[in-house]
Structure 1
Amino acid sequence: MKRIRAGTGAAAGPAAGANGTLGGEADASAVVLNSYTEWEPLREVVVGSLSGGVFPGWQESMAYTVPEAAWRLCREEGGLPLPAAHLKAAEEELDTLADVLEAEGVTVVRPDTVSHQRPFRTPHWASAGGLYAGMPRDALLVVGDIVIEAPMSWRCRYHEADAFRTLIKSWFRRGARWMPAPRPQLTEELYRTPGGAESPAAERWAVTEFEPVFDAADFLRFGEDVVVQRSHVTNEFGIAWVRRALGAEFTVSVVETDDPHAMHIDATFAPLAPGKLLVNPERYVPHRLFEGWDILPAPGPTLPPDWPMYFCSPWVSMNVLSLNPETIVVERQERPLIDALTAWGFRCIPVDFRHVYSFGGSFHCVTLDTVRDGGPAKYLAS
């Protein structure tokens, strides 16, 4: 399969005319976006790029999700390049993942190359730079034939979707629905010092209800159902916006997790096939939605304790990518997880990915599945 960079090739679709109109009519027969679950056979996927990535400019709300060992780096080096040798190794792992997916018959598209070192500002605040285009799952949510741009609460990520805009415009021109969430102000009214576990639920998180914010990676697709967690980057206002934007076609349900550092649900839940759910045993809280599902607690991560982890915990080990209900991409050195999944009936494709781990995610985070087989079936209990 031919790998396509945004803005080139078939994925770019018809060009806009000089007067801003679409350069052609949408092709009703072509499948542009169709992704209702995390496990149906994968046909097309975006794989992110860490090229040119920089440390995020510090804001206090990061303290509740970023490992404490990385606080100084973010405070002192926000907007400066990520470690070159480690970043190069991570980019090579991403390229290898793209090769593996293509070998499995999946069309791979990549984001535009953009500069993340440029500082920017709004009337209310300034950022020393961006972050990267490595985690499309954070910035974009695909549900059926809809792509939603997430209003993320980290100020450094304000323009992160720009690297994917060529792709988004192409999808829209070819018939997909494009729903950018309201662009947030990200003023101080949005942030708070969260209370502890004894606090009311609404006060446990670093973001208030000042305006809708969410990271797309706090949502998972189960056909007609979309499951979301409240977190330090996703508030009730944001969840309500997604619920209303998707309309009556989908049910959006909030699930509880036992994670005081919650940021992104895909290191707590990983639906791998109808009725099969991989869970983080330290964070999973049983929910009626999963009645009748087989639950597999993920073995602990095997990452060495001195491995650099700038933005997340080693539990990205369970952040796997399903290619179909029988096949999963797993980090090569997570042997206990591979053994557990194999015993559960899956074919595991091992890929080295520890250098990518360091920058905040794994296979699910760095991809955005745009075309899968299947439709809006019912998989969860009512």
Structure 2
Amino acid sequence: MSETIPIVNSWTEWGQLELICVGSTQGMCYPDYDYVAPHNEVLDESLRNYVTSFVGPRPAHRIQMAQQQLENLSNILEGESVQVKSVQEMDKDINLLLERKRTFLQTDANEKGNKVLQKQRIEVCRSPADGKRFDHFIQTPYFQSHFQLGMSCPRDMLITLGNTIVEAPTACHTRYFEASYYRDMIYPLYTKDKRVKWLSPPKPTCSKAMFDDADVWEKTSMSTFKNNFALNGYKTSLNEKELAFDAADLIRMGKDVIFKKSVSTNYKGVDWLRRTFGGDGPEGLRFHVMHFPTSPDLHLDSTLIPLRPPTAGSEGLVLINQNRPPLANELQLFLNNDWKPIWCPLPVINKASPVANCSPNLNMNFLSLNERSCIIEECELPLYHFLDDLGFDVITCPLRVLNEFGGGIHCVTWDIRRNDSCKDYFPNQDYDQECNRNMDNAFDQPLYQDNVPNPINFAKDSIRATQKSQDKN
């Protein structure tokens, strides 16, 4: 590797991927009740008459199935040439026959008609879950827990900002020690290259005092909570007494980083990031809070994903979840800087396994290998064809079993090194004004009241209208 590039280096979600961590489901559990979100909320209405949540060790055969999918993902990442085939296969979890685009490592004897893609080999390391337990009692001065989650989703708790590894100050007490479990892997990186930095923000207590109503999920479901999110001024149970955010609440775009206000993040969290990584230097970062009125859910990586940046000859592309539109005025940052927002196709099916830890919107939770290539879930044929039409090399992998362990392809990976830099892709903005905005009572400000999609098509129409106006000009 070139001496000019640190062993840890990642400024964007689309730079050429070189080193990545893939998660592990070994020893994973259904965690205890968590104040942040209903992690183990049963999605199947027919089962909710009998049980509302699951807690305890996960079935061994499901862990094995998930591990096989992660092994397959690792092999695809490490391969230099892959082929994509069309297949049909029954999804026994939801009892549906699904069409798929399945990716295999290329062999000498390729079947005629299969699409063959060349890619750069990517170095893969695995979450160091061996010997770690998530099914034993832990206690701090502020909480007790019998079951932690595990290590399937490293990107939830770890993020690379330039040459700095950041451990997320999560508000989830069921994931309190999760980032620290990766230190067996981080220490060698830190020791090998003196340019690598490693930060852990002030660790929250994860006590009930951090929440205005610690028992909110015993009284309501996430779907009901979503309906009132914007009307309540984007307030969640998580208050501002201590800073908190998950790494997956952040999407990196060179010098600018998008930060989602949700049940797992607060404004004190973005304030710490601005103080720590901001500045006028060439590698000073700018952090932008975005609000998604229909989505208080955890994490940004199934809501907004940049595909490629603007160039002299074309616009940048940013993919938006049409079920979770952002405020139109906040999306203006993209429109003012030659980024084109495009709506992601809906998930192929609106159904997940009965105990999935996430929603079907994980279809856009995918991983970019570079500006022209990405890996998506193999069942998502509408997204496959959509990206293919945009000129991307689309690689696929089966990952639906991993959904019940907490994430999609972006969640279960943590990009440690990309061949990219701290480039300014948003030169037209007033960042000082944004930072000086008082967010304590966001919904009291016309800036936020006037852009709430009610109905949801309001935000969609606003974006379309803005795009049409730009096209005319």
Aligned match of 2:418:
372
Aligned match of 1:17:
none
Structure 2 gaps of 5+ residues are 81-120, 217-224, 310-315, 430-473
Q: Structure 2: how far apart are the matches of 1:95 and 1:367?
A: 12
Aligned match of 2:271:
240
Change (3 A) 1:306 1:364: closer
Q: Structure 1: how far apart are the matches of 2:4 and 2:366?
A: 32
In the alignment, structure 1 residue 192 sits paired with structure 2 residue 224: no
Q: Tell me the C-alpha RMSD between the 2 structures.
A: 2.3
Instruction: Give 1:295's match in structure 2, choosing from 322, 335, 341.
Output: 341
1:198-277 maps to which residues of 2 (within 5 A)? 199-201=231-233, 204-248=235-279, 249-274=284-309, 275-277=316-318
**Partner AA of 1:279 in structure 2:** I
Q: Structure 1: how far apart are the matches of 2:62 and 2:249?
A: 27
1:103-142 maps to which residues of 2 (within 5 A)? 103-104=79-80, 105-113=121-129, 114-142=132-160
Shift of 1:213: 0.8
In the alignment, structure 1 residue 351 sits paired with structure 2 residue 386: no
Change (3 A) 1:343 1:325: same
Cα offsets for 1:302-360 (capped at 9, x unmatched): 24636235221110111010001110101111001100010111010011111111222
Change (3 A) 1:237 1:304: closer
Shift of 1:31: 2.4
Question: What is the percent sequence identity of the aligned residues?
Answer: 31
Cα offsets for 1:20-74 (capped at 9, x unmatched): xxxxxxx9656211100000110000111111100010034323x6645389799
Q: Structure 1: how far apart are the matches of 2:136 and 2:349?
A: 33
Change (3 A) 1:76 1:251: closer
Q: Structure 2: how far apart are the matches of 1:245 and 1:233?
A: 20
Q: Structure 2: how far apart are the matches of 1:284 and 1:40?
A: 25
Aligned match of 1:7:
none
Q: Structure 1: how far apart are the matches of 2:230 and 2:53?
A: 33
Aligned residues: 354
Q: Structure 1: how far apart are the matches of 2:370 and 2:60?
A: 35
Q: Structure 2: how far apart are the matches of 1:326 and 1:67?
A: 37
Change (3 A) 1:312 1:58: same
1:323-362 maps to which residues of 2 (within 5 A)? 323-362=369-408
- Which secondary structure does the structure 1 equivalent of 2:375 belong to? strand
TM-score norm. by structure 2 comes to 0.71
In the alignment, structure 1 residue 100 sits paired with structure 2 residue 76: yes
Instruction: Give 1:151's match in structure 2, choosing from 156, 159, 169.
Output: 169
Q: Structure 2: how far apart are the matches of 1:254 and 1:308?
A: 33
Change (3 A) 1:333 1:187: same
Q: Is the 8 A contact 1:139 1:215 kept in 2?
A: yes
Q: Is the 8 A contact 1:206 1:233 kept in 2?
A: no
Shift of 1:87: 2.1
Q: Is the 8 A contact 1:57 1:75 kept in 2?
A: no
Q: Is the 8 A contact 1:57 1:74 kept in 2?
A: no
- Which secondary structure does the structure 2 equivalent of 1:61 belong to? coil
Q: Structure 2: how far apart are the matches of 1:205 and 1:66?
A: 19
- Which secondary structure does the structure 2 equivalent of 1:192 belong to? coil
Structure 1 gaps of 5+ residues are 1-9, 11-26
Q: Structure 2: how far apart are the matches of 1:343 and 1:314?
A: 23
Between 319-328 and 113-122, report the one with greater CA deviation: 113-122
Q: Is the 8 A contact 2:348 2:380 kept in 1?
A: yes
Change (3 A) 1:343 1:55: same
Aligned match of 1:278:
319
TM-score norm. by structure 1 comes to 0.87
